[in-house]
Amino acid sequence: MKKQLLIMDMDPGVDDALALLLALRSPEIQLLGITTTAGNAPVEMTSLNAMRVLEYLNASDIPVMQGAQKPLKHRLVDALHYHGPDGLGESELPPAISPVQAIQPWDFIAHAAASNPDKITLVATGPLTNIALTLQHHPEVAHHLAGLILMGGAYGLTPYSKGNQTPYAEFNMWQDPEAAHMVFASGMNIHAIGLDISLDPTTCLYEQQLQQLQQKSAPAAAQLASKLVDYAIKHHGRCEMHDPLALAAALENMEIFGFTPKQVKITRGNGAKRGVTYALIQKKTPSLHPIYIANKVNGSRFLELFLTRITGK
Ligand code: BDR
Ligand code: CA
């Protein structure tokens, strides 16, 4: 089977770690590398967390490149209060022993994309700082990648589209709106999974799914996933699957999502509307490329995909 080539840019993070587990358990994917960014936690911690998950699943041959320390124009406001003091829901994974690679994420992404034109999909599940820096350093990358799938934004396309950082802004977009603006303007082929989809209760995990993950003789991935999900349910009443949904969109499971093309604008700066994403109804700026925004999801198909991949059943 010809594998789909992926690079993940992430800020683990409970749900980023669940997305990584899903990628590692998906045979059709070849994960070329992970680039880390500051977001849910400082970047040193998100790098260590990515490596802790890789080492736990004997996948430490996948390189981890440490990226941006902070958003382009703002200070970092982490989400450790949400993801736990270790960023991984107190999952008690051993500390990482592998070092991060001595290459910058933007150089890694650009080199990989140039060597495999139109073959690599980038999945970004944190603030878009590294992706913006990649476009700054290597503008040609926008045309070398097969596409970018990002988790971020709230586009008013379903009844669940509310902010989770401010009343209207989603965390990743709010954290680095200047980076998101550059990415939206890049002309890249972009698919976005926003809170419209990931706050839909049919895409979340509850006690019933946790029990499926906790079954006896579950594989290592399910054991770790159950700790992460358990933490989320105990602290937040359910486990929202923002980042695994973005990874699922990379798996070409067309029955799971519906997308609509829209031009998107984002509010930059530090005002009350910081990070708010607007899906424009009419094409207002002819040069702004539309991006494909998820507006429909089959929640039970998504949960089935996640649980069967993670448990192997
Ligand atoms: C996004 O914010 C982060 O806390 C999650 O990891 C996810 O990427 C959801 O708004
Ligand atoms: Ca994330």
C-alpha 4/C-alpha 27 separation (Å) is: 9
Residue 235 sits at φ, ψ, to 5 deg, of -95, -25
- Distance from residue 141's CA to the centre of ligand 2 (Å): 23
Half-sphere CA count of 303, side-chain side, radius 13 A: 18
The answer to whether residue 242 is catalytic is yes
pLDDT at 1 over 90: no
Q: Is 84 in the pocket of ligand 1 (CB under 6 A)?
A: no
Residue 50 banded pLDDT, cuts 50, 70, 90: very high
CB atoms within 10 A of CB 134: 29
**Span 230-250, average pLDDT:** 98
Number of helical (H) and strand (E) elements in the chain, helices listed first: 13, 10
**Span 135-147, average pLDDT:** 97
Q: Which tens digits make up the pLDDT trace of 247-274?
A: 999 997 767 999 999 999 999 999 999 9
Nearest protein CA to atom 2 of ligand 1, as residue: 171
Q: Which domains does the chain have, with CATH numbers?
A: 4-311 (3.90.245.10)
- Distance from residue 2's CA to the centre of ligand 2 (Å): 28
Residue 145 banded pLDDT, cuts 50, 70, 90: very high
DSSP 312: -
- Distance from residue 177's CA to the centre of ligand 2 (Å): 15
Ligand closest to 81 (CA) is 1
Average of per-residue pLDDT values in the chain:
96
**What are 260's two structure tokens?**
């609509």
C-alpha 80/C-alpha 40 separation (Å) is: 6
Q: Which tens digits make up the pLDDT trace of 148-204?
A: 999 999 999 999 999 999 999 999 999 999 999 999 999 999 999 999 999 999 999
Which of 131, 243, 247 gets mutated to test ligand 1 (max ligand atoms within 8 A of its CB)?
A: 243
Strand-pair category, 291-297 with 257-262: antiparallel
C-alpha 185/C-alpha 26 separation (Å) is: 31
Q: Is 295 in the pocket of ligand 1 (CB under 6 A)?
A: no
DSSP 188: -
Rounded to two decimals, the pTM is 0.97
> Where are the strands (E) in 59-146, listed by range?
64-66, 120-124
Residue 217 banded pLDDT, cuts 50, 70, 90: confident
Q: Is 125 in the pocket of ligand 1 (CB under 6 A)?
A: yes
C-alpha 266/C-alpha 273 separation (Å) is: 9
Residue with tokens 């999945």: 123
CA distances from 23 to 106, 261, 284 (A): 21, 26, 37
Ligand closest to 152 (CA) is 1
Secondary structure (3-state) at 217: coil
**What are 272's two structure tokens?**
């009350």
pLDDT at 231 over 80: yes
